Structures are given as structure tokens and as C-alpha cells.
Structure 1
Amino acid sequence: MKFQYSALLALAASAYAAPPTQSIKEVARQASAGCSSAVTIDASTNPFKKYTLHPNTFYRKEVEAAVAAITDSSLAASAAKVADVGSFLWIDTIANIAKVEPAIADVPCTNILGLVIYDLPGRDCAAKASNGELKVGEIDKYKSQYIDPIVTLLKAHPNTAFALLIEPDSLPNLVTNADLTTCKDSASGYEEGVAYALKSLNLPNVVMYIDAGHGGWLGWDANLKPGAQGLAKVYKAAGSPKQVRGFSTNTAGWNAWDQSPGEFSTASDAKYNKCQNEKIYVDTFAPLLKAAGMPNHAIIDTGRNAVTGLRKEWGDWCNVAGAGFGVRPTADTGDELADAFVWIKPGGESDGTSDSSATRYDSFCGKDDAFKPSPEAGTWNQAYFEALVKNAKPAF
């Protein structure tokens, strides 16, 4: 469901990374210029009321390159505005930790840098398009070579605020795909890894949200309580870190915030899922999370959910054809439990390849409602990006 950055992005990152001769410790000594003093985020309050989600430099450069390739001047003008929208930066490999330092460089004191922590061993155990670099059992490598260096970098920049989304898809997969051998094998590593990330990244200038799928995933009646208990279990195993604010929903997803009746409300099995939009899901899941002993405020990905009625089934997740950019990041959600609408998935980067002969091909990317042709996960798809701009609501 998620992605790895393309080789092109990796090359771009290397241009901004610290020289090869510098170690993580040497980079860590470089002071941040974000604020004039150390940032302390009160995770008992909504951080997005104070900070604006930062338009990270890597997505900006992707968008700028895409705009340069558009010949329609009107479309190009609209597309150029996407670069100024705040979005999360995915740290989806050990190598991509090199992106953190340059991404911090232009973050003003009024902004918060969003980072997706996404590299668990056996990652995305129920999908093929976004499997990770670490094998099942490599939990020590996850801790020492992935989480620990990120901690070092964030500690080196106490004057910058960070919002972290912790491991998309991981804990939800343990609820709904527990019968798969790949997920059974990954379960203990997921729980241990997420707990370690939460405990280690519990820094004063950080606020964290744990991924909780979406209303079409954990929103089913049978999944709600186990889902909440699963998140809370790991949160408690981490020592109930105070910088955890709650959960994230609709990451890289397509669900509407408050559409009523819901997109799949007429489906034959709709009676088993009352969470027919993300607002209902947040308002239903949050109390269960609180009852299980965990903070329960949410952020919702609205990056690509402007158009509904496109999917044939709720579970269709790959490059949905006809999608459009959604509501821009804002703390004005109209729901006290919803901290902010945010852009998590970088719109324009593929969810997975439609080439059925590819090693990482996932059948969901070949479905009738998936955009074709589409390249490997994380690779830029110019045609899809242009469609997102054309179909944006509100329009750019």
C-alpha cells in the first residue's frame, strides 16, 4: 500500500546528504537554526494549532520538475502551487535517513517537519508492492541502523519541531491479516519495533501518531476493539511515552472525511461496518483507544481523497484512477478528536507497478480501477500527478 523512494530520489538525496566522510555523530553536532531556543511540544494539546506542516524540500523538487514538463500553461500554474503544500517526508530505508538533515535546513520556527518512520523488518506483510529492505528477524538492525541514527539527528536539532507518523500498515495488519504466514512471522518484530521507536523517539521536540489504517480497514465492527487494543498494547510496552498524541488514518488512502451516506454504504456487507467515513471512524475508534489506555487524537491524510465513487471495492488501494488532491493541511477539522488534515502520501509517486511481470507486482495494481500504466512504488508518475491536479477539490 505504501512505497519506497525511487532511484532518482535517492540520487537527489545524495546531493543534499552530508559528505561521506562525516559520521552520524559529526552531523549531529551541527546546530539547528529552526527556532532561537529549544522546542518543547506539549503532546496533550494539538500541535497543528501552533505549527504549520512544512512543505518539505524533496517533494517540492519533485513537483517543480513535474511542472517544468507540463506544456499547458494553465495546468502548470495550478500544479506549481502543489509545491507549497505541507507534506510528510518518508524515511523508508536506512539510506534515506540522509534526507533528514537537508529537510531540516529550511524549516522555520512556525513550521513542523513531518516524517514517516517506515522500515520495519518484514514490512507490509500483506502486500508486495511496498515490502521493505529488512528481513523478518532483523529487529536489531532496525533498532541500531535505522531508529537510533534518526534519534541522533532529531536530538541534534532541538530547535526544530517534528511530527512523526509511526510505521504505516504495521499494527493494523496484525489485526486483519493474522492468518497470513508472512504476518504471523512479522508480528513480534512489528510490536517490538514500534515499541522501540516510540520509546526512543520520545523527545521534547517530537509529537508522534501511530498508524491505525482507516475506516474501511479497522472500522469494521469486529476490528475496532482489537485494533485499539493492539495499538495500546504497544504504546504501553514502550512505557506510555508522553510525546505520543494518538493515531493516523487514511494514510495514502482514498476515504472521504465526512461523506454521508458513505461511499460503500450500499454494499451488501455495509451493515458490519458503521465507520462509513473517516470522521465516523475517528469518533468511534478514539474512545476505544482511550478506554484501552492510550492518547486518542488523530491526523487524517487528505492528500488524494477529493473524488469518491472510483473504487469498486473498499480495499482497492493502488493508484486509484480519477483521484484528485484533497483538502490542504489544516487544523480546522471541525472535530475535537481530529487534530489536522495532513498530506502524508506524496501525490504523484506511484503506489506500485501495473507491470504484471515485475517482481514487486501486486494484483491490486492491475485492477480495473487502478491507473495504468504505473511504475514501481515510489517512482514518479507524471500523468497521474497531472490528473491529481486536474481533479483537485478545492481546485488549485
Structure 2
Amino acid sequence: MKSFTFLCALIACVEAKWSRITPPAKVDSATVTGESVATAAEGVTVDSPFTQGPSGINLYANSFYQKEVESIAIPALAANQTLLAVAKKVATIPSFFWLDTTAKVDLIPKFVKDIQTRKLDVLMPLVVYNLPDRDCNAKASNGELSSADGGIVKYKAYIDAIVKNIKAAPSVKFVLIIEPDSLANIVTNMNVPKCATAKAGYEEGTIYALTKLNLLENVKAMYLDGAHVGWLAWPANLDPAADYFGLIYDKAGKPSKVRGLVTNVANYNAWSVPAGSCSKLKYTDEMRSVWASGGKKIEMCDEKTYMEQLAPKLTAKGFPAHFIMDTSRSGKYPTDQKHWGNWCNAKGTGFGRRPAVSKESPLLDAFVWVKPGGESDGTSTPGPRFDSFCGTGKPEAMQGAPEAGQWFQKYFEQLCANENLDNTPTKYERVPQ
């Protein structure tokens, strides 16, 4: 699912294919498609929708993922009691459901019925993920819609169907993540022809989604995708990213339900490492951003530092600087990645901390699980949807992987083996001797 051109803003890359620095996109208001739509509360955002009770965070553990774990993963682990115990815990943990095809929109009523039947006071977490030319800098997770084939019209129909289903369930509350891997690709990858082509559709589609979904009373919050520390935290990208998020937000009419950004979606980064410890923890030069700001050196290899650097820039653009973080695969760090760009089915990863309301930063609303751990990032077998980042040329990518979104039992077992569900400090840190 992850797709980006690795950016060596200050340091030389080891591999020749990473030597090209992708320039940040030059974006101004004249280039953004779609008309600004006024809202009743321009510039005002909702409160965090998340609460924490005795039984955990107020998020629905979607039955689709639960069935995957219970029907595929658990039976395969019958002979391994240690991993089996972890898998049983994972099956009950709340996670987002991805509306990555138009057909999956029809599953919303099934989740609604389950919530209503069980009288659950929870948020239904959904990922809106179907823009035309989706994931424009990768092949593994390309979507069903193309800008060359009426994609934006079909996308608006897809959004309308989501609106219809949410509106039909006024007693159920929803929290939405809007289009992972979209706006960040426009910030960094405009030299990629497919991304240049996709730009207009990404903007028009995102603005349409935000304005339509913002009108629904039972949508309690929306979070745009904010990529992660290894993508947008580089000096060449941080300011352009804040500019672009602010611009899209303005063009959508400053929708009040936009709470902020989600980071680390389907990625593996740590929430926080001690200041100055990225290199001490044996992160490679390609796995940390080191740069100067305000006359002092800043080293970033974690999402917390990224949020702290991005937040004031967002605020300056009028964008609400609140965050949630995907910790579904952030249990072990550093991972076996040598480059942040090696995103596909990375080795040395584990299930991260359970979803919970954050008490660790005023910027962070909650830790959540967005990526369904165990679903493949992309196939390792050459074919129409094969991406080289998933193949044998990348030793950090686990082999034997099926198509993106399909169940990958071997990978699920790795996540279980390296789990840190309880967020035990220093469980996997490579502390210097």
C-alpha cells in the first residue's frame, strides 16, 4: 500500500536508484481544481471523537478482519500456542475497514447492523480509499478507477454511496480516514508521469469527499492522510506539505469535521525514540532525517518528532494540527529496513500497541490500527500488479506474498512473533552497548 520516492534531502543514498531527489511540488491556489465550498463553521474543528473506558477505546472491532484472523490465521497456528495466544488477542482489537473498492461500500450496513444489534457505543472506523489513479507511484495497490476512463465521475458516485449508507444509520457514529497515499504523492512525486496525471483528480475527489461527508451529523471526525516521518519530514518536503494540506482544506471550505492528519498508515515507524538516539539505535542514514531548524540540529526517525515539527507549520496555514497514528505494525523498531523507501511486507516488524486515547502528547488524539495486519502489501510474484519493492531485489521484503490486500499468513505470524501490544518500553530497541 505504501508508495513514495525515497528522498535523500541531506545525505547520499547508498543505492544508485535512490540518487534522484524528488523535488517538492510547487502548488498554488490556481492549480487546485474544484470550487471552495462554504461551511457553517469555517475554520472550526470538532473535538477528538475518541474516548477510553474500562473496555478500551471506543472503536468497533470490525467483523471482516476478525473473521480473517479467526478463519485463516488461528487454525493455522494450532501447533504454536505462543503465537496462537497473540492471534486470539489480535482478533478482538479494533481496526479500520478499508473501502478500497466501490463494492465494499455495500458492507457498511452489515457493520451497522452488528453495532446496533449488540448495542455498542463505538465509532465505526472507515478508510476512504478509491481515488482515480490511486497510489500513483506504485503498482501493487492500484485501484479500480482511472482518470482516463471517467474516474472522477465514478469516484463521486462512490462517495455518494458512502454518504447514503452513513446517512441511513443516524444512530451509529463514524470516524473516517481520507485517501492514504494521495496528497503526499502530489507533494513529492510530480516528476512521476502518473502522479502528474492524477493530481487534478486527487484534488477534485478529495475536496468532493470532504465537503459531502462533512455534512453528515454522525460523522464525528475526519483525518486526512499525513504520510509519515520518512516521507514528508525531510527539509525539502515539510513546508510544501503544510502548504498543500492547508490549500486543500481551504478549497474544501474549511470543513469542521476535519480534525487533522493520520500518520504512519500501513508503515512501521516508532512513536517516539529518545532525543538524539536515532543513530545510537542503529538506524541507518537512510532511516533518519537530520537537519537544522532555528539554529539547532533536529534528528527525526519517529512519528512524535515529525508531528512536533509539522504542527506549527499546519497551524500557520489554518489547518487543524491534531493527529492519530497507525501503530498496527509498529511493535518492533528498528525494523530490518535499510531504507524508508522499502515499504513492502518489511521483515522484522511486529504488531504495535493497542488502539488507545493518547496521554503522551497534546498533538495526538489516539493510537489506532489502520492497516489490517496480515493483509499483504503487494505480491512478490511478477505479474500485472507486481511492484519491484515487493520482489527478490529487495531483501527486506518477505517473499511468498500474495496480491495486495490478500491474506499473508507468514507475515501475520511474524507480526505475532514480534508483537508489543502492551507497549513494553525497550522491548525491541537496539540499545547501544
Name 2:301's counterpart in structure 1: 276
Q: Which amino acid aligns with 1:233?
A: L
- Write out aligned runs for 1:141-156 (5 A): 141-144=154-157, 146-156=158-168
Q: Work out whether 1:301 is the aligned partner of 2:330.
A: no
Q: After alignment, is 71-80 or 51-60 more displaced?
A: 71-80
Instruction: Work out the number of aligned pairs and report it.
Output: 356
Q: How far apart in 1 are the matches of 2:289 and 2:161?
A: 45
Residues in 1 aligned to 2:251 and 2:208: alpha-carbon distance in whole angstroms = 9
1:106 is aligned to 2:114: yes
> Which residue is equivalent to 2:31?
none
Alignment partner, residue 31 of structure 1: none
Report deviation, 1:49.
2.5
Q: Hey, what does 1:131 align to over in structure 2? A: 142
Deviation larger for 317-326 or 343-352: 317-326
Aligned counterpart for 1:351 among listed residues 377, 397, 407: 377
| Corresponding residue SS for 2:207 | helix
- Structure 2 Cα separation of the partners of residues 363 and 75 of structure 1: 30
Deviations 1:250-300 (A, max 9, x none): 000011000232367651784347432100111111221111111110010
Residue pairs, 1:216-255, within 5 angstroms: 216-255=230-269
Matches within 5 A, 1:115-130: 115-130=126-141
Tell me the equivalent position of 2:8.
none
Paired residue secondary structure (1:114):
strand
Q: 1:390 Cα deviation (Å)?
A: 1.3
Name the amino acid aligned to 1:391.
N
TM-score (norm 2): 0.79
Rounded Cα–Cα distance in structure 1 between residues aligned with 2:170 and 2:314: 30
Alignment match of 2:65 (pick from 49, 53, 59)? 59
The CA RMSD measured in Å over matched residues stands at 1.9
2:97 equivalent to 1:96: no
Q: Which runs of 4+ in 1 moved over 6 A?
A: none
* Change in CA separation of 1:329 and 1:178 when aligned onto 2, cut-off 3 Å: same
Task: Confirm or deny: 8 A CA contact 2:2 2:343 kept in the other structure.
Answer: no
Instruction: Name the residue aligned to 1:166.
Output: 178
Per-residue CA distance 1:209-239 (angstroms, 9 max, x = gap):
0001001101111111111111111111111
Q: What is the CA–CA distance in structure 1 between the aligned matches of 2:312 and 2:112, rounded to whole Å?
A: 35
CA contact (8 A) 1:264 1:270 kept: no
| Mapped partners of 1:110, 1:81: distance in 2 | 21
> Who is 2:75 aligned against?
68
Percent of residue pairs bearing the same amino acid type:
47
Unaligned runs of 5+ in 1: 4-41
Q: Distance in 1 between matches of 2:282 and 2:410?
A: 28
Q: Name the SS for the 2:124 alignment partner.
A: strand
Counterpart residue identity of residue 147, structure 2? V
Deviation per CA, 1:19-62: give whole Å up to 9, x if none. Answer: xxxxxxxxxxxxxxxxxxxxxxx953221126612100100000
Q: Which letter maps to 1:267?
A: D
Distance 1:210 1:54, change over 3 A: same
339, 357, 363: which is aligned to 1:337? Answer: 363
* Residue in 2 that maps onto 1:388: 415
Unmatched 5+ residue regions in structure 2?
Answer: 4-43, 292-297, 424-433
Alignment match of 2:47 (pick from 45, 48, 58): 45
List aligned pairs for 1:355-374, cutoff 5 A: 355=381, 357-366=382-391, 367-374=394-401
The whole-number CA distance in structure 1 between the counterparts of 2:94 and 2:194 is 35
Local SS of the residue matching 1:213: coil
Query: Does the Cα contact within 8 Å between 1:246 and 1:295 map onto a contact in 2?
Result: yes
Q: 1:188 aligns to what SS in structure 2?
A: helix
TM-score (norm: length of structure 1): 0.86
- The CA distance in 1 between the partners of 2:124 and 2:410, in whole Å, is 28
Give the counterpart letter for 2:105 in structure 1.
I
Question: For residue 113 of structure 1, what is the amino acid of its counterpart?
Answer: M
